[in-house]
């Protein structure tokens, strides 16, 4: 069924994709596995876009489907009774980039895992991160970005945090579609995370939570 879901999303069959997700949830499929299938579909959509088979409307519809799927899965992901707050995480998508679905999943997972999260939204300039660190005093900062352009924006954000004398006050994690170890080195971040749970693990490690 997971393969059917990948194909339905990748082929833009929205109603069928949402119906399949409902059926998978009712059949007891793991929400993270369903998200994994949706991510696989996004890679296919991305490739078709690169090849010129898909255009912006398909990217938009893919994003819309993914948001709806995340909304269906949220109650299943949020079954932790947790209320104790482990620490504070500031998060945002860096300047020039408006992709936020991945970031929103990370924000949601941090929240249900006991973090107080301040989400600055998308297209966030470096200075706004600096101001928010001063006001919100997080232990952890998460930068999200899906565009190649985001690598420089992340680097500039880290430089602005450093210039403001705040670099040793926060741990910084980055993430988003193409982020890897090399990008982590390039930007000067402390770590990168491939998915939302990696972000939660890093935040737990840094905020001293069990």
- The site string for ligand B12 over 63-82 (x = CB under 6 A, - otherwise) reads x--x----------------
- 3-state secondary structure (DSSP) of residue 103: helix
* Residue 143 β-bridge partners: 92, 174
- The site string for ligand B12 over 20-59 (x = CB under 6 A, - otherwise) reads -------------------x--xx-xx--xx-----x--x
- In the complex, least distance from residue 45 CB atom to ligand B12, rounded to whole angstroms: 5
CA–CA dist 135, 210 (Å, integer): 26
CB of 196 closer than 8 Å to CB of 178? no
| Count of residues that interact with ligand B12, criterion CB under 6 A | 39
DSSP string, 179-208: --HHHHHHHT-SEEESSHHHHHHHHHHHHT
Segment near ligand B12 (CB under 6 A); pick from 20-28, 62-70, 113-121, 128-136: 62-70
Examine residue 112 and tell whether it contacts ligand B12 (CB under 6 A): no
Examine residue 147 and tell whether it contacts ligand B12 (CB under 6 A): yes
CA–CA dist 155, 166 (Å, integer): 15
- 3-state secondary structure (DSSP) of residue 209: coil
Label residue 46 exposed, middle or buried (CB < 10 Å: 0-12, 13-18, 19+): middle
Examine residue 125 and tell whether it contacts ligand B12 (CB under 6 A): no
- In the complex, least distance from residue 205 CB atom to ligand B12, rounded to whole angstroms: 12
- In the complex, least distance from residue 181 CB atom to ligand B12, rounded to whole angstroms: 13
Q: How far is CA 83 from CA 110, 114, 126, in A?
A: 12, 6, 31
Examine residue 199 and tell whether it contacts ligand B12 (CB under 6 A): yes
Q: By the criterion CB under 6 A, which residues form the site for ligand B12?
A: 39, 42-43, 45-46, 49-50, 56, 59-60, 62-63, 66, 96-103, 105-106, 142-144, 146-148, 173-177, 193, 195-196, 198-199
């Amino acid at each position: 069924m997971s393969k059917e879901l990948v194909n339905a999303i990748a082929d833009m069959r929205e109603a069928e994709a949402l119906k399949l997700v409902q059926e998978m949830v009712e059949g007891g499929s793991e929400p993270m596995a369903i998200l994994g299938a949706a991510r696989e579909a996004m890679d296919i959509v991305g490739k078709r876009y690169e090849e010129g088979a898909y255009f912006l409307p398909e990217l938009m519809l893919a994003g819309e489907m993914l948001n709806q799927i995340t909304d269906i899965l949220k109650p299943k992901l949020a079954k932790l009774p947790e209320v104790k707050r482990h620490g504070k995480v500031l998060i945002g998508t860096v300047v020039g980039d408006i992709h936020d679905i991945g970031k929103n999943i990370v924000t949601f997972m941090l929240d249900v895992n006991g973090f107080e999260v301040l989400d600055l939204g998308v297209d966030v300039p470096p200075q706004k991160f600096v101001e928010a660190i001063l006001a919100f005093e997080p232990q952890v900062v998460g930068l999200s970005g899906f565009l190649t352009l985001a690598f420089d924006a992340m680097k500039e954000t880290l430089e602005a945090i450093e210039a403001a004398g705040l670099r040793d006050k926060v741990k910084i994690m980055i993430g988003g579609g193409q982020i890897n170890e090399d990008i982590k080195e390039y930007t000067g971040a402390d770590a990168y995370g491939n998915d939302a749970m990696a972000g939660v693990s890093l935040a737990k490690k840094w905020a001293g939570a069990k």
